[in-house]
Amino acid sequence: MAKTAPHDIEAAIAARRYFVTRVVIYGLLALFAVIYIVPFLVVVLNTFRDNIDVARNGLISFPRSFTLEAWPVAWGSYCLNGRCEGMSSNFWNSVYMTIPATIISTLLGALNGYILSKWKFTGSDTIFTILLFGVFMPGQIALMPWAYILGTTGLNQTLWGLIMVHVIQGISFTTLFCRNFYVNIPDDLIKAARIDGAGFWRIFWKIILPLSPPILIVTVIWQFTGIWNEFLYGVVLTTGKTQPVTAAVVAFAAQEQNVKEYNIISAGVLIAALPPLLVYFFGGKYFVRGLTQGAIK
Amino acid sequence: MAVLNISGVYKSFGPVEVLKDINLDVKSGEFIALVGPSGCGKSTLLAIIAGLEKASAGIISIGDRIVNSVAPKDRDIAMVFQSYALYPTMTVRENMMFGMEARGVPRDQREAALKRVSELLQIQQLLHRKPGQLSGGQRQRVAMGRALVRDPALFLFDEPLSNLDAKLRVEMRGEIKKLHQKIGKTTVYVTHDQVEAMTLSSRIAVLNKGVLQQFDEPQRIYDHPANMFVAGFMGSPAMNFMPAQIAVKGSGTELVLAGGAVLKLGRRLSPPAIGSVIVGIRPEHLTLATSKAANTVVGKVTLVEPTGSETHVISRIGNNDVTAKFFPYQAPKLGDDVRLAVDMDRICIFDAVSEQALA
């Protein structure tokens, strides 16, 4: 019989060990994936069940009925506080609030970051430090001041009021992101452009912004999901028809009725969650790439 | 005509004074090298000329204008950076056009300038590439092209070759010199490389610790350094320094080295010096000598460094390590006892305390 060389045995042991560790790692990953996905799955499945099925078999159970009724009801005709319009108007409120607030706060952050990194002036570092406080400040602290400001300016109960609140609340984060990204752009580029004859704005539009997509994508995703999912300001500073979708979803679920219509509530939750989900789906890989970009250097 | 005049310029960053009383006068068409060790203030001086930094005191004029409070873009200058500072999102063509567009130069003039410069630098085939797709030498060329299209009164170079490898550096050095010979633009060139300064410039300004040490033609700086710093900084291998006692003997001067060797200088110093001095001898001014020769020093070889074209031999003479240059096949061997004759016409003598040259 042919002799087996000792290193072959070692290689075989190493290969087996590698295989076992992989199985353990992927097994654990799969387990956690299931833990995360199951509640989501329950909600998705519940939107397709009729209410009798839910009442009889419980909230967590396989569907024994199939209907698409819940979706149009949640969207357009569910009655809430005597209004039977579903959540569509609140959904559009959120769209009209989130898109301008995201764009304005991102542009302001880019501009602030550009100034605080490339056009430093006496005290600019102090201003940046103060701005950073906003990153660590919980939004609830500012709730009463905002209510007061919107009340005195007449912007309460309006989307413009919410847009302003979200823009200003967001500036700390967007400035931090952009400033830290721009700090890594060599100052020589700015000097060269100044000698070339470009001024503050031309350098911003022609040199800084074209270099910015990685950080702007991160900032837009961050702001969009943050503003869309925000609930507290929406529920406190607006009421009824002017509320964003998050407030409407909570109102759906909190409504006092004899029978909770779980299928409609589930559909409402999913409709409300769709835009940030899509943003992550299409922008997620840029998000991770943008966040880790500075770390590789 | 003076293109650039710097008079009495000071610069401080907080309590740190980085430039002290700098005076320079640059004539039209000159190539001036600002040279010195890192931290000597040469790049700061260039930034002040460019308008990227403000002088704490003093006057800068370009052409006939005092430009102290003129913005960089209005100073009629162009600058090439050590990092090239090419705009990464723009093509070579857009990089070169950027300055002219910012200044509102008409399209046909822009195209003409682009054509002229890209032909001059032979970068026509690179015009549609981005800086990331260029090699180091090509980037260097484009950076120069971007400066050239503007046709400014004054060119500023900030260590433009220090990011290139040794071979390319020598190549580009030659190209910069040829370019200057061809277009004759007044240039201020910052470098820490004394060879670059010697080979390129019509005059060299040597800086150390923010003070202008000497401003003169390259050969005069090499032959007659104003002080020990300049003497030691310019030239490779560096000048040898040996302490000596000086005395007047008849119509000449006698230098007694620490080891006891006597060097006779056929002239008197003026003003006359007595006491301790430092004798400076360049490595190429030492030759092998017989025992009968005058003005010799003796020592033992402690290190031999062949470079191929010449061999540097370091010998222990008295308390000093002295470097001498030889042809490879005539160089003494390690451990040899050597007697070296000093070329007395070319030695430098410095005051031992002030370190200034004595005439």
Interface contact B81-A188, CB threshold 8 A: yes
Euclidean distance between CA atoms B19 and B207, whole angstroms: 9
CB contact under 8 A, B102 and A198: yes
Instruction: Please compute the mean of the pLDDT values over residues A35-43 and round it to a whole number.
Output: 91
ipTM of the complex: 0.84
> Touching check for B72 and chain A: CB below 8 Å?
yes
| CA separation for the pair B283, B290 (Å, rounded) | 18
Using a CB-CB cut-off of 8 Å, the residues of chain B touching A192 are 79, 81, 85, 87, 146
A41-55, A77-91, B215-229, B235-249: which has the minimum mean pLDDT? A77-91
Residue, of B58 and A259, whose pLDDT is higher: B58
Q: CA nearest A251: which of A130, A82, A48?
A: A82
Nearest CA in chain A to B151: A196
Distances (CA, A) of B72 to A212, B156, B270, B282: 26, 12, 47, 42
Option in B52, B83, B99 nearest A196 (CB): B99
Closest among A79, A70, A73 to A51, alpha carbons compared: A70
Cα nearest neighbour of B94 on chain A: A206
| Residue B340 to residue B290: CA distance in whole angstroms | 8
Over 90: is that where the pLDDT of A253 sits?
Answer: no
Contact state of B102 with A194 under an 8 Å Cβ cutoff: no
CB contact under 8 A, B73 and A198: yes
The β-bridge relationship of strands B286-288 and A79-80 is unpaired
Q: List strand residue ranges (DSSP E) for A41-156, in order.
A: 79-80, 83-84
* Chain A positions in Cβ-Cβ contact with residue B85 (cut-off 8 Å): 186, 188-189, 191-192
pLDDT digits (tens, 9 = 90+) for A122-152: 999 999 999 988 888 888 888 999 999 999 9
Overall residue count recorded for chain A in this entry: 297
Amino acid identity of residue A262, one-letter, is Y
pLDDT band, very low/low/confident/very high, at A107 (cuts 50, 70, 90): very high
Is A191 in Cβ contact with B81 (below 8 Å)? yes
Binary contact (B99, A197; C-beta < 8 A): yes
* Cα–Cα dist B326/A242, whole Å: 92
Q: Greater confidence, A254 or A187?
A: A187
pLDDT value of position B301: 94
Q: Which pLDDT belongs to residue A78?
A: 83
pLDDT tens per residue across span B161-186: 988 888 889 998 999 999 999 988 99
Query: CA of B57, closest CA in chain A: separation in Å?
Result: 20
Which token pair is A243? 């509320």
Amino acid at A295: A
In chain A, whose CA is at the least distance from the CA of B72? A195
Burial (CB < 10 A; 0-12, 13-18, 19+), residue A152, is exposed
User: Given pLDDT bands bounded at 50, 70 and 90, which one contains residue A259?
Assistant: low
Chains A, B: CB contacts within 8 A come to 61
**Which of A:193-222 have CB within 8 Å of B?**
193-199, 202, 206-207, 210-211
Any A CB within 8 A of B88 CB: yes
- Cα B27 to Cα A16, A24, B30, B155, distances in angstroms: 79, 77, 6, 13
Mutating which of A195, A202, A211 best tests the B interface, going by the most B Cβ atoms within 10 A?
A: A195
Strand-pairing partners, residue B254, are B247, B264
Is residue B132 within 8 angstroms of chain A, CB to CB?
Answer: no
Distances (CA, A) of A243 to A212, A222, B205: 34, 21, 72
CA A117 from centroid of its chain's CA atoms: 26
Q: Tell me whether residues B88 and A206 touch, CB distance under 8 A.
A: no
Q: Which residues of chain B have pLDDT under 70?
A: 1
